[in-house]
Structure 1
């Protein structure tokens, strides 16, 4: 059995045990089945793929843990680490008083640490609550979640307050024979609605346009606002709202991956369309860069967790989806008293939410 599925009232989540990717997530809402997460078109197709692909790319789906994020250039491992490329075992999967809880353990160690993935579903909550725990180990590890959503008609984005957005020195696809990009590299802006474009002028990071064929990557640094970090995507054709939440003290950056037909080589082949990665992390690009001197550290942003014998490090993350009509994301998202409140225009919407889960204001676990 390579797919393990857990369910609570109104929600189900399936984990691909061969690589630790979420293969599917289904939420019942508004009389519909909402599916917020993306699965690459080649995963279930009977086709020949390039032989040198990491297993995590071969089975690219949903969300997965990157440890490290990007290059594994300190401890030998594939792109995004063993957490995204190798097998997980089911340690526990049990019904609870109000839903379901499952614990999975990575077969590989990471920097000498064992890694557990804990997935929790609650009856009537349209959210997947995730926690990852590193026990023992040595050195330091950069981490990031990698949730991907996809849309067929574009969408509108909104965010918790950010200090600024910045691109790296070089684009993902600098060779026009292989792909294309639209943002300027390197560039920086405090206005997410006006980010420097490659051809001059600016682009609006809060708008995902399907006619913009591109492969772009940008980092958003969380501002000090005292609440949860959040990203909201109103998908137009799907008539829903995808929500991704974090504790900024644990995961201080959000990396956006715009993947909309911007790669022409296999397995992407111009068919990876309408995909947005919303990648909350504590990392720079690559393990060595994350634990060494890097541009984020110089901005006062943590880029790795310290590991150690007889201690553990954990961090939490939430993915959800709600029915939505009108195509506009909320202007503000707050969580308290077992509810999430979304403010849009002059109206407020409330949904059930475990407001204690993200541990806002609590010390980091150790």
Structure 2
């Protein structure tokens, strides 16, 4: 596998250049190595052991990657989640900066005529990967999303920045019981994440990831209006850590959750993709054409694409990290200032960790 690894004090990140997926992320803390990101169990298997039709992004499914577009490429032909998730990237820059390391990668292909750069920044002592994607030129519009995935051996608890509503699409990911299974109701919506309708009746608590729930489920959370960053926190029980994913809601106004816990029976999934949660912060509907056309998110005032134009660039930023956590309860709130993050517990205690509070550009205007 052609990977590039960058590191700063206490953290390292490896990128699989064949598909632009993060192959590994290690955070050193309290004498431990935290691994906040997931890698599919079949990665590295001989290609001939996987179905021939499997997209490269699924063959090498790892960590986090850029989706452009998100889901179906039904405007410009490309595999699932677009060429950024399925084709080669080149190293453009890779070197030390003051207090850390910075690398720039460029997609060999263009998307809607736009060149795409992926920028990784690591800072000494910060348990976070700071990412930026920059689209230069092009025409039309593109939907985008990050696709970080974490996995849990024994489940965990989730917490979020304020959300307006949670909505499932019209049909589940795996409607055919001969191929897989799901638990949530489709379509459905709820303003209470702890009370989401189930297909079988009753309600599920979306903040409780239970290993006994074998399923593939997909749900979109719309950010509420608030002044801070959008965030997701996953307190992983067996791993005894807290996985953190942060965004600027003005850039990426939705968070799509993918619950993947043994809910697909066909290859390469084969019931072995267990305890996985995708935290897919995006500016998208499901599919490129849907993102550009009329969709339920637009009707509720939520942007689902960035406009592209020659002589113009658009960018968005994202942060992934991990810190040790003794308990299984996620934070009640997360606050950021210029140089640190405060992770607030329900009992009122707070932990502070180094954080670049300016990176996400909270409060600044965002191009359409």
Q: Same fold (TM over 0.5)?
A: yes
Instruction: Verify: 1:353 aligned to 2:352, yes or no.
Output: no
The aligned counterpart of 2:9 is 9
* Conservation of the 8 A alpha-carbon contact between 1:92 and 1:103: yes
Query: 1:175-229 CA distances to partner (integer Å, 9 max, x unpaired)?
Result: 0010000000000000000000010000000000000000000000000011000
* Deviations 1:297-348, CA, capped at 9 Å, x for gaps: 0010000000001010000000000000011110000100311001102201
Superposition pairs of residues 62-211 of structure 1, within 5 angstroms: 62-211=63-212
Residue pair 1:312, 1:365 contacting (<8 A) in 2 also: no
The equivalent residue for 1:29 is 29
Counterpart contact for 2:155–2:209, Cα < 8 Å: yes
Question: 1: distance between equivalents of 2:297 and 2:276?
Answer: 26
Query: In the comparison of the two structures, how many residue pairs are matched?
Result: 366
- How many angstroms does 1:363 deviate by? 1.4
* 1:30 Cα deviation after fit: 1.4
CA distance in 2, matches of 1:300, 1:365: 15
SS, match of residue 49 in structure 2: coil
Offset from partner CA, 1:222-273 (integer Å, 9 cap, x none): 0001100000000000000000000000000000000000000000000000
Q: Secondary structure at 1:288's aligned position in 2?
A: helix
The answer as to whether partners of 1:120 and 1:129 remain within 8 angstroms in 2 is yes
Q: Is the 8 A contact 1:197 1:203 kept in 2?
A: yes
Gaps of 5+ in 2: none
Q: How many Å separate the matches in 2 of 1:105 and 1:56? A: 17
Tell me, which stretches of 5 or more residues in structure 1 are unaligned?
none
Does residue 213 of structure 2 align to residue 212 of structure 1?
Answer: yes
C-alpha separation between the residues in 2 aligned to 1:295 and 1:254? 15
Q: TM-score, normalised by structure 2?
A: 0.99
Q: Is the 8 A contact 2:306 2:367 kept in 1?
A: no
Is the Cα–Cα contact under 8 Å of residues 282 and 304 in structure 1 kept in the other structure?
Answer: yes
2: CA distance, partners of 1:329 / 1:339: 18
**Alignment-derived partner of residue 294 in structure 1:** 295
Q: Could you list the per-position Cα deviations for residues 262-297 of structure 1 after superposition, in whole angstroms to 9, with x for gaps in the alignment?
A: 000000000000000000000000000000000100
Give SS of 1:250's match. coil
Are the aligned partners of 1:67 and 1:80 in contact in 2 as well (CA < 8 Å)?
A: yes
Contact residue 21 and residue 63 of structure 2 kept, 8 A: yes
